[in-house]
């Protein structure tokens, strides 16, 4: 049986952090813009706190073990046009980003790694 490669996935470390953030903040969402600096990193918000619209693409509804609802992953349409042939892997690295992402007080930040997929 053919199984499609997921467009977005979480590393085990990112999934652990999502579970902790969900316990503290409720349902979550990610948004990755095409901005400069941390704007190109995935930002994690309480679900619905970041307003999405026609300039955004819903790439995934991530199922995370231990989290009751899917975690949506949005990307700005302009960023998606550049990354449309990649699989995005959300990871966690030490350090603090300069955005409003929920993990900032944890001393870590989300980071997107990518792998080219067959077009």
Provide the whole-model pTM.
0.88
Q: What is the Cα–Cα distance from 71 to 29, expressed in whole angstroms?
A: 5
pLDDT tens string 81-111? 888 888 999 999 998 776 789 998 889 999 9
Please name which of 90, 1, 99 lies closest in space to residue 50, comparing C-alpha atoms. Answer: 99
Q: Which domains does the chain have, with CATH numbers?
A: 8-116 (2.60.300)
pLDDT tens string 1-53? 444 567 899 999 999 999 999 999 999 999 997 665 545 689 999 999 999 99
- For residues 7 and 60, the answer to whether their CB atoms sit within 8 Å is yes
């Amino acid at each position: 049986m053919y199984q499609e490669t997921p467009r977005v996935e979480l590393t085990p470390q990112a999934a652990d952090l999502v579970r902790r953030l969900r316990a503290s903040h409720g349902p979550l969402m990610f948004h990755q813009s095409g901005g400069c600096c941390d704007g190109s990193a995935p930002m994690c918000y309480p679900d619905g706190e970041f307003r999405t619209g026609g300039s955004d693409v819903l790439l995934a509804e991530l199922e995370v073990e231990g989290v009751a609802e899917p975690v949506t992953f949005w990307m700005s349409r302009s960023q998606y046009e550049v990354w449309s042939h990649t699989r995005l892997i959300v990871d966690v690295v030490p350090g603090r980003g300069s955005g409003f992402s929920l993990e900032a007080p944890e001393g870590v930040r989300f980071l997107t790694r990518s792998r080219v997929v067959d077009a």
